[in-house]
Amino acid sequence: MSETTPPSGASFFQKLKDIFGAEKKVEEVDLSFEKHLNGHEIRVVNTGQPIQLLLGGESGHKLHIYPNTPPYGEGGLTIDCFIIFDPSRFYNRISGFLQLKYGETLLLGKGDVVQENLFGYKSMVGNRHLTIAHAGDALIFKDLRTDRGTTLSALSKPTEINRVEKWRMGKLRALRDIYGGDIKPLSHSQALVTIREVNHHLAKEAYRPTDSRGVPGGLLELPDNMVPIIVGDLHGQVDNLIKLLSENAFLSAMKDFEAYMIVLGDAVHSEVDGEMEDFDSSILMMDLIFKLKLKFPKQFFYLRGNHDSFSPDVRKAGVAQGILWEKAILKTRGKAYKEEMDRFYEALPLIAISKDFIACHAAPPKAKANRELLINTHQYPGLVRELLWNRLQRPNYPAGYTRGDVKRFRKALDLPDEALFLVAHNPLNPDDCIWLDVAKTPNHHIVFSGRTNAIGMFTRIGQKLLPLIIPTENLLDKINNLPKQSLLRERRERDSTPH
């Protein structure tokens, strides 16, 4: 490295800084050939081309890095976000990925419990193996292992470059087929037929013990051998539900009876400023939810939230959304449809449990509640209100639930302390979408899925329920503009393929 000569008029401390504190120049490389780091640091200009990592050398653990947003700017220099995933898991089973956003640095290695569950690292991967920094126009890789190191290469084949996009387009096409065409509000007659079919299914919904009236009760007891996909409040963000269903292997796992999705209520009523009195997205959201319920009667579940009502109590920022929701339904769908919506709300479960979680919309009951009471919630309106409306105890909300209420609720349902207790309803700030161990309550988390920048959710990867944060994307136009000919061709190919 050449010496740096300080200017003659510089102070003594400036001279020391210039001589000893000069930035080390990072080698800039293209990936025309494999690059073996072996303890070095390199800079790779972002061009939109995906990258393959081998942690631990040529026979190491393989990860792929793909742009999650298309490159823009001069020469494609700016990519807001990358995703990092294990390709052996990503395309064929429920898995997870890491996000790398502009200005962030990720440390890859076995020492991170979340990564170990996501990727199941091979033995040659170190606890602190590699850092990747997103510098805007480039990714900077710093190898922390000199013994087994890291190998980088570009994924250059067209099938590799376009694999993630093609994989996701297939899911969008499948979702469009489930809906029966463009995802737009159903006609008056279609909507009425659809909701009546949904209510017929709810009258005998799977996994719900019957209450004293002989109908499915408030408790949903889900099988332990299936993977849960748990979604918080969506609040009219239809794109977010489409994004979730076109990510990961969620849709195919539901088709194969390997997973189920639970929405924790409040799919309707936008919380975006300027949209709180607009219910078009809420109507479309419920149409999509109803279609999913009919397609997956034993794989798609909706728990009731406090906004799942026409009550005058349902308000946001002074907007009487419950009353306005009723007016919008009557205007667009008519009285018969509104009556079916009332039946739908009354028929919904309130609590879901499995071996490693409890989930409801808002809160655990403060009073003692057991399995029998949760099945017969129709007899206990006070209990229902707590499950739908109560919030975490805070200085400005002293009547809220506490750590002790969470612990007692787990015990009442014979679940271990390690079982997650998941709620939505109560986002703790306007920016995030997941809050872990809230109020210092172990394994009690809040999840929110209705943001316009990120979607929070939980799913089981390996043996552990993990939080995932997925970036939002405008998908309605994309799914509705899929080439119709290719859709027809793909459907014919699927129908003619031997099973």
How confident is the model over 153-205, as pLDDT tens digits?
999 888 888 888 888 899 999 999 999 999 999 999 999 999 999 999 999 99
78: left (phi over 0), alpha (psi -120 to 50) or beta: beta
Residue 173 in any domain: the answer is no
Segments forming the whole domain that contains residue 289: 183-490
Q: How confident is the model at residue 134 (pLDDT cuts 50, 70, 90)?
A: very high
The whole-number pLDDT of residue 292 equals: 98
Residue 166 in any domain: the answer is no
Could you please report the per-residue DSSP string of 246-294? HSTTHHHHHHTTSEEEEE-S--SS--STT-TT--HHHHHHHHHHHHHHH
Q: Hey, which residues does 220 pair with through a beta bridge? A: 352
Q: Is the pLDDT of residue 280 over 70?
A: yes
- Do 152 and 247 belong to one domain? no
How many residues in total does the chain contain? 499
- Do 303 and 364 belong to one domain? yes
Residue 17 in any domain: the answer is no
Average pLDDT for 448-467: 93
How much is the mean pLDDT over the chain? 89
- Do 142 and 218 belong to one domain? no
Residue 136 in any domain: the answer is yes
- Do 50 and 144 belong to one domain? yes
Q: Hey, which residues does 467 pair with through a beta bridge? A: 458
The whole-number pLDDT of residue 471 equals: 86
Give CA–CA dist 298/319, Å, rounded.
Answer: 36
- Do 234 and 336 belong to one domain? yes
Q: How confident is the model at residue 485 (pLDDT cuts 50, 70, 90)?
A: low
Q: Is the pLDDT of residue 430 over 80?
A: yes
Nearest to 370 by CA among 328, 415, 413, 329: 413
- Do 192 and 112 belong to one domain? no
Residue 319 in any domain: the answer is yes
- Do 323 and 196 belong to one domain? yes
- Do 131 and 223 belong to one domain? no
Written as six digits, the tokens of 429 are 């700030």
User: Residue 466 belongs to a domain with what CATH number?
Assistant: 3.60.21.10
66: burial class by Cβ within 10 Å (0-12, 13-18, 19+)?
Answer: buried
How confident is the model over 206-264, as pLDDT tens digits?
999 999 999 999 999 999 999 999 999 999 999 999 999 998 889 999 999 999 999 99
Average pLDDT for 27-33: 85
- Do 263 and 205 belong to one domain? yes
- Do 131 and 195 belong to one domain? no
Residue 11 in any domain: the answer is no
Q: Hey, which residues does 139 pair with through a beta bridge? A: 44, 134
- Do 122 and 193 belong to one domain? no
Q: How many domains is the chain built from?
A: 2
Nearest to 353 by CA among 149, 237, 217, 169: 217
Residue 328 in any domain: the answer is yes
440: left (phi over 0), alpha (psi -120 to 50) or beta: left
User: Of 161, 193, 211, which marks where a domain is finished?
Assistant: 161
**Apex 203 CA angle, 419 and 233, nearest 5:** 45
Give CA–CA dist 54/125, Å, rounded.
Answer: 9
Q: How confident is the model at residue 24 (pLDDT cuts 50, 70, 90)?
A: low
How confident is the model over 316-367, as pLDDT tens digits?
989 999 999 999 999 999 999 999 999 999 999 999 999 999 999 999 999 8
Give CA–CA dist 352/293, Å, rounded.
Answer: 16
- Do 135 and 250 belong to one domain? no
Give the DSSP H or E segment for 301. strand 300-302
Whole-model pTM: value is 0.86
Tell me how crowded residue 5 is: count the other CB atoms within 10 A of its CB: 9
Residue 168 in any domain: the answer is no
